[in-house]
């Protein structure tokens, strides 16, 4: 029945049917369409509706075929040149925008801090080469070291002044991210000459802590690092407070060794005994303290 209805919809012989038959066929089509509505395509249904209304607007078979064809668009596609121009503009915009999105102003400052620590490590190593593989913190003042001052937190800067011949530039002792109450020293000279330059002579000229028991034979020991290091036990360290003491080795509590939000924001750079510089998060710092090989509990002196 459905097949008959579809045949009637597309038949080109409608005009040849005699009038008495037209009403009969129209009634038959109406009944068929009522039953087969869901099975018929919209185009076929439109033709059948026209038939039900006496064929008005339907026309011949050729006209019906033309009307069933989809309308063509007058819009033209992009030419090859236009496509290439659009691609070029997109690439240009990408090159201009992506570097700005990826730029992190803190990254250059962190890199400079790492370079500072590498230079400090090199200066300490040169000093040790000339002093029996020992650092200033293990050598008396009379021999060019700073051993007697190891327990004085107000004189942390003196451990670095001992390597002034090897380091030469005191500006390397300031981290560019450490701006709280810091003064950039321009000379290690402490005589009355060069009075126009800030002399390296106090903790405010310093951004780093120093490991008091650093040994070249123990490469994982803490040597020098950012002063925003924190701790609660066995010694309490707080950013901006001078302190000397051990960090400890077994850190399993949240309130123990770590970093605060100052300087590098809950992270820090540390120069190790082997001369390498690494960035430590709080969790990584606690893990590292368990394997430094420091039998004195990782003693450090932190400037205020």
Each residue's pLDDT tens digit, 68-120: 445 555 566 788 888 899 999 999 988 888 776 665 666 788 899 999 999 99
Residue with the larger pLDDT of the pair 196 and 17: 196
* Confidence bin at 57 (pLDDT 50/70/90): very low
For the range 234-238, what are the long-range contacts, defined as Cβ-Cβ under 8 Å and sequence gap of 24 or more?
234/297, 237/300, 237/302
pLDDT (tens digit, 9 = 90+) per residue, 140-173?
999 999 999 999 999 999 999 999 999 989 999 9
pLDDT tens for each residue of 206-227: 999 999 999 888 899 999 999 9
Span 129-140, mean pLDDT? 94
| 202 close to 189: Cβ distance less than 8 angstroms | no
In this predicted structure, the answer to whether residue 8 has a pLDDT above a threshold of 90 is: no
Q: What number of other Cβ atoms are within 10 A of residue 91's Cβ?
A: 10
Mean residue pLDDT of the chain comes to 79
State the pLDDT confidence band at 47, using cuts at 50, 70 and 90: low
Residue 227 tokens, joined: 């002063």
**Helix, strand or coil for residue 267?**
strand
Residue with tokens 């066929």: 25
Give the residue with greater pLDDT, 269 vs 102.
Answer: 269
Q: Look up the pTM and report it.
A: 0.65
């Amino acid at each position: 029945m459905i097949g008959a209805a579809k045949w009637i919809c597309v038949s080109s012989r409608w005009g040849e049917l005699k009038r008495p038959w037209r009403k009969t066929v129209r009634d038959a089509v109406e009944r068929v369409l009522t039953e087969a509505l869901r099975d018929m395509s919209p185009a076929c249904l439109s033709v059948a509706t026209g038939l039900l209304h006496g064929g008005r607007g339907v026309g011949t078979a050729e006209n019906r075929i033309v009307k069933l064809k989809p309308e063509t668009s007058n819009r033209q596609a992009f030419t090859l040149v236009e496509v290439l121009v659009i691609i070029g503009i997109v690439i240009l915009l990408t090159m201009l925008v992506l570097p700005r999105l990826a730029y992190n102003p803190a990254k250059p400052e962190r890199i400079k801090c790492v370079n500072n620590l590498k230079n400090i490590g090199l200066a300490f190593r040169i000093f040790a080469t000339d002093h029996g593989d020992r650092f200033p913190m293990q050598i008396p003042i009379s021999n060019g070291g700073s051993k007697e001052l190891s327990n004085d937190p107000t004189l942390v800067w003196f451990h670095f002044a001992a390597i002034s011949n090897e380091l030469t530039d005191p500006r390397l002792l300031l981290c560019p991210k450490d701006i709280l109450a810091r003064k950039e020293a321009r000379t290690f000279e402490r005589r009355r000459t060069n009075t126009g330059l800030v002399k390296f002579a106090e903790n405010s000229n310093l951004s780093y802590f120093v490991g008091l028991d650093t040994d070249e034979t123990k490469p994982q020991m803490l040597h020098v690092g950012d002063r925003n290091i924190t701790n609660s036990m066995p010694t309490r360290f707080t950013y901006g407070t001078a302190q000397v003491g051990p960090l400890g080795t077994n850190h399993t509590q949240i309130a123990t060794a770590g970093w605060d939000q100052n300087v590098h924001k809950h992270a820090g750079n540390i120069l190790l005994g082997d001369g390498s510089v690494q960035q430590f998060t709080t969790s990584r710092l606690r893990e590292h303290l368990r394997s430094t090989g420091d039998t004195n509990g990782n003693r450090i002196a932190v400037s205020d």
